[in-house]
Amino acid sequence: MKWRLVALLGSLVPGLARAQDPMARAFDLERRGSYLQAAEIYRTVLQDHPAEVAALLGLERALTPVNRNPEMLPAVRAALATPQPGATVYGIAVRVYASANLLDSLGTLAEAWHRAAPGDETPYREWAAAALQHRDRPMARRAYQLGRDRLGKPEALAAEIAQLAVVEEDWSTAVREWARAVRQLPGYRSSAVTTLSAAPERARADMLSALSGMDGIDVARIAVDLRTLWGDPLGGFAALMAVLPSAVPQALDQLQSFLEQVRGGSTPPYLLAQARTLEAVAERWANPAQRGRFRLEAARAFVGAGEPGDARKVLAALAQDTAGNPAVALGATATLIELLAQEGKPDEAARELDRYRATLTVDDYQRLRRLVALRWALSGSGDRAEALIAADSSVDALELKGRIRLYAGDLTGTGEFWKQAGPFAGGRAAATARTAILAAIQPIEADSLPELGAAFRQLDLGDSLAAARGMMRVARTLGADAGRPELLLLAGRLFAAHGARDSAEAVLRAAVEPEAPATAAAALLELGRLLLGSERRPEAIAVLEQMILDYPASALLPEARRVLDQARNAVPRT
Amino acid sequence: MSQTGRLLLSILAGLRRLAWLSWAAGLAGGLAAIFGLSAWAARLGWLGQPAWVLGTWALGTALAAGLSGLMWRRLGELSPPWLAGAIGARGFRGGTLRGLLGPAAAGTSLELLAVADLQQAEALARSESELLAPIRAGFHRRALRSGSWLIGAVLLLISARPLGGPPARLWRPGEAWAATVAPVTIRLSATTIDRGGSVEATVTAAGHRHAILWVRGPGEPWRGQGLGLDSLGRATTVLGPLENDLFLRLTSGGRSSDTLQVRVRMPVFLGSLTVTARYPRYLALEDEPLPTDGDTIVVPEGTRLETVGEATTELLDAAWVAGSARIELPVSGGRFHGGLTPAATALWSLALSARSGEVLAGDPVRLPVVLVPDSVPTVEVPVPGSDAIIPLTLRVPLVIDAADDHGLTRVVVESRRISRLGFADPPVQEAVPLPDDSRSRVLLPYDLDLNLRNLLPGDTVRFTVLAADNAPRAHQSRSTEYVLRLPSLAEVRQAARATSAEVGQRLDSITEASRRLERQTEDLSRERVRAGQKPGGPDQSLSFENAKRAESVAEAQAELLRQAEQVRQTLEQLQQSADAAGLHDPAWQQRLQEIQQELARALTPELRQRLQELQQALQELDPERSREALERLAEAQARLREALERSRELFKRAAVEGDLANLTAEARDLAADQKRWLEQLAREDSLRAAAEEAALGERADSLGASLDRLSAELESPPDQRPRKLQQSAERARSAARRMQRASQAARQGKQSEAAREGQQAEEQLEPLGDELKSEREELQQSWRQEVMRGLDQAMGDVSRLAERQLRLAETLRRGDTSPGARSEEGAVEEGVERLLETMKQLAGKHALVSQQTSVALAAARDAMRQAREALATAAPNTREAGKQAGEAIDALNAAAFGLLRSKGAVEGAGSGSGLQEAMEQMAQLAQQQGQLGQQSGGLLPQMGQGGPSQDQLRALGARQRALAEQLERLRAGGQIPGAADMADEAADLARRMEAAQLDRQTVERQERLFRRMLDAGRTLQGQEQDEQQERQSTTAAADSIRLPPVLRARRDAEAGFQLPRWDELQALTPEERRRVLEYFRRLGEGAGERNSAP
């Protein structure tokens, strides 16, 4: 019984103490959402202790949700009147003055703060932040500049000034200040890259030039990252190699970081950049096994990038590293077969594949078999290709079977196989491309169009111009509601991608047919982009406006509006 | 006596007179003072009782006596010796006078004595004046004082005016004495009175001004009543009216009167009377006491009135009397009792005679009895309420309204078929089961099933309803006879078209209502967010107005659900009617079924649950929960609205298709009838033939009008078909005109002209059916083409958006978080949103446009939004953005493939959702996985003992890989959630086994995969079965229960188990519903088997 009593008293004592502590009570009230009551208690505390930081902060917390921060002014003034108020009090004061729209007083306050804490950037940062909150950029700039002058450090507040410059689209200042900031604190690099990457194309060259004239690996990495982001990974790789430290660990660190960045892309330049980076990484590894793995990966990337020569070179170098590493040797074999197939030697590749069948993993074997089949199909031996993968029931095989049928012009068969393969076979890029082809051939009523199949084959062989022409020829034979606009749109895009702007324009204009409104809208959008790329802005604007007016229900309308804004140089900076 | 003595005596005589006067005046003054004081006291009211008179007199007497005695003694003291002594005291002769007054001492000379005496006398006489002056002065003063005293007292007395007023009593001591000794009395005017009478009491308390009259009834305590008495001590008061005996007594001044009793005579009257109605037993009514205050009593025929009464006196006889009728009631003392069974409406009076001959007081007891005879039951049939058309199901829903004043025992529907030729079948009687509870009035729904009556179009069925009551001699009545006619196929088709139009209108109406309601709910939920305080804010109460508005939303939602359910049922009726009309078009029927399914999906239990949540939150006046419930309800409403819109759009086309099919059949029938008419023209009576042809003409005209209407409805699409329909309509109207001419010709007896016109009409009608069929097929094809073109276009857009999204995803993966990337993502997202709208329109045009596409597009949109949000933060999360952007690509590609499948389904090349196939395949794959797991488990023990051969493991791995590929293909189909993960797992397992890595972990993973696959299969199965149940459950309609005949008979006979109704099942989950229904089915099967067993 006694111990129960003790326990009860023990449980009550903290509660009583808590009930008596006004700060704790105010905090409880605040937590329960009774902000005004909490604020009253904080005010009571501040009457006795004006510089009580916890109470000031509590008062600010309590008044902020109810949007009554200006009511803190008397308390803040009282706190400032105390001797040596402290940085926190100044910080609160700046916020409260800003909320009360007393921007004129912020300078004085910041100066006082600066006197209390000389050498601290915070007063000017807070002042500028308050000014920016009220969209007063000149005041913010003045605050930063004054801060820099008062502190006597040219690199002070560089990141803030750089962000302000980005907002004001003063790209040269932004580059200069970011460089200063990154030199001071390398961690700023990602922020610098993110903000600078928004620069318009016309300013990019100057920015890169400015960056190249600056010292420091971290500054140079900004340039590397920006190049990569702006679609020039090889330029980025070159820039990186130019500034790569000689010390291996640092160099490897930089290379790995760049590799991660370029892995995001799947287009040939990115694959090539990946390959070269992997090669560079491999060269810096002393461990043969590890080096072999990187080289193998580099070789695969070269193959993927369509650079068989480089791939062979890497594979040759790899031969030195494979001793004692069967996995790498196996990978090299598979890559070699892949290379053979890509070089247009499917028969040879098939033989090698057959020879190494027992050693290859099932996954690799099936993948290479499909690759060989694809190459046969591309070379016009569709039957052999089909026979090779006849027993393969995987979705990738189904996808390939559909593609073989496509090359043969069997549109129905293509649709059927691809329907079975589903939307996920072969990765996202392949699936999206497949979807595009399916969308193009669906309206065609004919079951078989060998010429169209040939055009697609040429497209996959890389001859997009011939493919586009083939598609145009086929399109002429089709009706407006039977696939003609879709094939014309596809051809127009191929022409545009190939740089044949006139042909592209003509074909895209021809694709605008009322029987296929969605295709017509897409064609107009492509045309608008094409004209914009040719700096024919008025025409682009007219075309895009036509698209918006004629096809208000199109799914591409938002994109068209965006491009139209670009054409009018009015891209919203959201 | 000596000289001196004589002299002294003479002197004393004078003094004595003075002394007497003094005493007399003092006495008189004393008496006057006493009387005067008493008189004043009486006048001032200090003395109220007569005793004061006696007291005064007593005091006066005592004073007089006392003073007289004193005076006597004092006067007696005035003697010669006293005087001699007094004189001597003044020094006269040294006191020698005293010696001369007594007898001489022995030896004394008498002469000397005489001389001395003489001398002394002379001396005294000489100095008498000198000696006696002071003594006389004393006497004189006393006399004067007494005189003054007397005068004062007399003045006191006189001032009290003793001769008038209360002081006057002073002079009547006799009366005072009498008053003092007189008794306190009450005198009553009567000692026995009638009840309610009064009695006058005269009270006397002589000499008193107040008295208390005490009264009490028998058994009661005394109650005092103060009475003011007059000067004679009398007062009179009236007591009453008295209901009971009264006892009285009077007290005053400590004296009390005798107790008197006033007796109250009780009247002779009827003390109690109870009349109890004992109703006839068949009425099953409880006995009931009846009022006897003269109110009219309405009793059913056969009611016995039991009478029990008692009078306050002994009775001689008692009887109920009505006119000449007299019903004696046996008497015992003052009591009487007996029964009366009225045979007619009459005014009965209770006649009582007292043995004493007294007349009983009080009003006479009258019993106006109105006798209500048991009426004949009434029976009506409000539904159909008039002659009607027999519905296509040949089941006529009747509502029988039967009533009887006391109860019904039997309701029978009597019907008979009358053929077109006038032959009548014998009547068939079908008993309608009556409810157990109330039978005085019943509304009985009844399905008159005419399926076994061999009805032919044109036949009629006459029916009437008989009702019998529960009287001992049952009364029976019969309703109006109604005629039901089996419609012709033409009428059936017309009815189907009307139903179709009605469904269309109702769908329009509820879709609009749903839209309004959704908007209202959204507004309300948002308004509450805007207007409401922050959570935890000071004002947390739910305002009355908001609560009322939310309640109104909930009510409207419930009503909307009810209407949607009705529409769903009407659709089913339409399907049945179309079937009955011979429109056996499976595609069209399938379409109607799809719409029904769409509606069934719309009416999800989730929506009802949301509604229930709202109602509960409102009951608890919880603002936060109400807001959340409103938001959730708005979401569910949006889904309902979309489903309703889709149903409405689907139905528009289905209705046109149905109408066209309907009119095609009608055109063909019309042509056939016209041909028949032509064949029979020569043989038939001309007037009859004219009438028949006129009727056919009307049908043809109606056909033309219907085609015109349909053409007008189809005018919106800009194609040629409406014109063709108009041509068909014109052809029908032309045929109608010719038929009318043929009819006229036939009526005029111009047979050849009639035949010619009829022939031409027939020629015009003949190709109409084929034309309309072709129209319909072309229309269907055109619609299909339109939908397919729409799907193609949508697919194009999806592919373009997917390409854009792919590029964007790559940009994001490279770490681009610029505003441009965000805005581009926003543009793509908005494009997807527009595509969703497009899909909604397409889905409204064809039922086979899969909803999976919309689901995938919505998933893509959501992923894009998440990608944007990941970028929009202060520290953009590029990894998450890239991931979401990638998932959006997958979803878009899935949507494209969904479109591809939809196109196949619309084209007729696909099998719809393919869910069934996927389900079966998953079940098979699960079996295979189970076997694989078992085989792997079997090989596991051998692994440490040389192990199984590589080939064995590779073979197993190959099977596992094949299974993985199958799973991958299922994933491609998009119907199996989680198929991708299962495929990946299966592929990984295959890789391990191909690499001869078989261990316990691998086997366990196989087991887990097997279970997952089983679960996936079961989930699918559950969903599918549930959907079937939703379609089957046409809620609570008894005819929806499909039971074997044997079981049905048993059910009907025993009214035993029945399948639970939908409203009972809807609270359960789909799986629970399935189990419950399965249980009942098995129960039914079991019962059926038992029933059929010998």
Q: Tell me how far apart the alpha carbons of residues B320 and B338 are, in angstroms, rounded to a whole number.
A: 10
Q: Tell me how far apart the alpha carbons of residues B54 and B175 are, in angstroms, rounded to a whole number.
A: 10
- pLDDT bracket for residue A531 (50, 70, 90): very high
**A566 interface with B at CB cutoff 8 Å:** no
> Nearest Cβ partner of A518 from B794, B827, B991?
B794
Q: What one-character DSSP code corresponds to residue B96?
A: -
- pLDDT bracket for residue A512 (50, 70, 90): very high
Contacts of A481 in chain B (CB under 8 A): 789
> Nearest Cβ partner of B800 from A34, A266, A556?
A556
pLDDT, residue A465, reads 92
A242-294 pLDDT tens trace: 888 888 888 888 898 889 888 877 788 899 999 999 989 988 887 777 888 88
Contact (CB<8Å) A555/B834:
yes
Of B649 and A536, which is predicted with more confidence?
A536
Among the listed ranges B116-130, B520-534, B808-822, B946-960, which one has the minimum average pLDDT value? B520-534
CATH of A443-567, one of 1.10.3720.10, 3.40.50.2000, 2.40.50.140, 1.25.40.10: 1.25.40.10
Question: B40-78: b or e for each residue (b if 16 or more CB lie within 10 Å)?
Answer: bbbbeeebeebbbbbebbebbeebeeebeeebeeeeeeb
Tokens of B481: 């006879």
**A359 interface with B at CB cutoff 8 Å:** no
Do the beta carbons of residue A125 and residue A148 sit within 8 Å?
Answer: no
- pLDDT bracket for residue B798 (50, 70, 90): very high
Type of residue found at B431? A
Contacts of A419 in chain B (CB under 8 A): 897, 900-901, 904
Contact (CB<8Å) B972/A421:
yes
Omega before B241 within 30 of 0, i.e. cis? yes
Would strands B304-311 and B270-278 be described as parallel, antiparallel, or unpaired? antiparallel
Note the helical H segments in B127-270: 128-159, 173-181
Do the beta carbons of residue A530 and residue A501 sit within 8 Å?
Answer: yes
Domain ranges of chain B: 3-173, 182-265, 270-372, 382-487, 489-654, 783-905, 915-1020, 1038-1092
Q: Tell me how far apart the alpha carbons of residues B391 and B573 are, in angstroms, rounded to a whole number.
A: 10
> What distance in Å separates residue B484's CA from the closest CA in chain A?
55
Torsion, Cα B70 B72 B73 B77, to 10 degrees, reads 130
Domain B182-265 has CATH 3.40.47.10: no
For chains A and B, CB pairs below 8 A equal 206
Average pLDDT for B53-68: 88
pLDDT, residue A506, reads 93
SS3 B56: helix
Contacts of A557 in chain B (CB under 8 A): 830-831, 834
Contact (CB<8Å) A422/B974:
yes
> What distance in Å separates residue A4's CA from the closest CA in chain B?
36
Q: Which of A556, A557, A573 to mutate to test the interface with B (most CBs of B within 10 A)?
A: A556
Contacts of A418 in chain B (CB under 8 A): 900
Phi, psi (5° rounding) for residue B332? Answer: -145, 105
pLDDT, residue B659, reads 83
**In the predicted model, what is the mean pLDDT of chain B?**
80
Domain B182-265 shares a fold with domain B382-487? yes
B-contacting residues of A 181-200, CB under 8 Å?
190, 193-194, 197-198
Q: Is pLDDT of B646 > 90?
A: no
Q: Is pLDDT of B58 > 70?
A: yes
> What distance in Å separates residue B958's CA from the closest CA in chain A?
9
* A561: closest chain B residue by CA: B827
Contact (CB<8Å) A522/B800:
yes
Q: Tell me how far apart the alpha carbons of residues B971 and A395 are, in angstroms, rounded to a whole number.
A: 10
pLDDT, residue B952, reads 80
Cβ partners under 8 Å of residue A483, min gap 6: A440, A441, A442, A443, A444, A445, A475
- pLDDT bracket for residue B438 (50, 70, 90): low
B925-970 pLDDT tens trace: 888 888 888 888 888 777 766 666 777 888 888 888 888 888 887 7
SS3 B230: coil
> Nearest Cβ partner of B799 from A198, A435, A481?
A435
Q: Tell me how far apart the alpha carbons of residues B538 and A38 are, in angstroms, rounded to a whole number.
A: 13
pLDDT, residue B1019, reads 53
Do the beta carbons of residue A298 and residue A279 sit within 8 Å?
Answer: yes
CATH architecture of B270-372: Sandwich (2.60)
3-state helix, strand, coil in chain A (%, to 5): 75, 0, 25
Q: What one-character DSSP code corresponds to residue B426?
A: P
> What distance in Å separates residue B994's CA from the closest CA in chain A?
8
Contact (CB<8Å) A559/B824:
yes
Q: What is the DSSP string of B364-404?
A: PPEEEEEEEPPPPPEEEEEET-S-EEPPTTSEEEEEEEEE-
> Nearest Cβ partner of B536 from A32, A555, A559?
A32
**Which residues partner with B441 through β-bridges?**
B403
Of B159 and B591, which is predicted with more confidence?
B159
Contact (CB<8Å) B792/A443:
yes
> Nearest Cβ partner of B890 from A266, A421, A424?
A424
B837-868 pLDDT tens trace: 888 888 888 877 877 788 889 889 999 999 88
Q: Which of B784, B799, B861 to mutate to test the interface with A (most CBs of A within 10 A)?
A: B799
Q: Tell me how far apart the alpha carbons of residues A94 and A82 are, in angstroms, rounded to a whole number.
A: 16
Contact (CB<8Å) A264/B815:
yes
Burial class from Cβ neighbours inside 10 Å (0-12, 13-18, 19+) for residue B388 reads middle
Tokens of B846: 């064809």
The enclosing H or E element of B412 equals strand B408-418
A210-232 pLDDT tens trace: 888 888 888 888 999 889 888 88
Do the beta carbons of residue A383 and residue A411 sit within 8 Å?
Answer: no
B1010-1068 pLDDT tens trace: 888 877 766 544 443 444 333 333 333 333 333 333 334 444 444 344 555 554 555 55
B209-240 pLDDT tens trace: 788 999 998 888 898 888 888 877 888 999 88
Phi, psi (5° rounding) for residue B974? Answer: 80, 10
**Which residues partner with B335 through β-bridges?**
B310, B332
B677-734 pLDDT tens trace: 888 877 777 788 888 888 888 888 988 888 888 887 775 555 555 677 888 888 888 9
Contact (CB<8Å) A486/B971:
no
Measure CA B201 to chain center: 63
Q: What one-character DSSP code corresponds to residue A478?
A: S
Q: Provide the CATH topology of domain B382-487.
A: Immunoglobulin-like (2.60.40)
Burial class from Cβ neighbours inside 10 Å (0-12, 13-18, 19+) for residue B739 reads buried
pLDDT, residue B318, reads 92
pLDDT, residue A332, reads 82
Question: A137-176: b or e for each residue (b if 16 or more CB lie within 10 Å)?
Answer: eebbbbbbebbbebbeeebbbbbbbbbbbbeeebbeebbb
Do the beta carbons of residue B237 and residue B213 sit within 8 Å?
Answer: yes
What are the CA-CA distances from residue B432 to residues A162, B390, B400, B401, B413 (Å)? 92, 20, 9, 12, 7
Domain ranges of chain A: 20-411, 443-567
Phi, psi (5° rounding) for residue B202? Answer: -105, 120
* B996: closest chain A residue by CA: A361
Contacts of A432 in chain B (CB under 8 A): 799, 802-803, 805-806, 889, 892-893
Torsion, Cα B747 B751 B756 B761, to 10 degrees, reads 40
Contact (CB<8Å) A435/B892:
yes
Q: Which of A360, A400, A432 to mutate to test the interface with B (most CBs of B within 10 A)?
A: A432
Q: Tell me how far apart the alpha carbons of residues A463 and B735 are, in angstroms, rounded to a whole number.
A: 67
CATH of B783-905, one of 1.10.3210, 1.20.120, 1.10.10, 1.10.287: 1.20.120
pLDDT, residue A5, reads 46
Q: Is pLDDT of A439 > 60?
A: yes
A349-384 pLDDT tens trace: 888 888 888 888 888 888 899 989 999 999 888 899
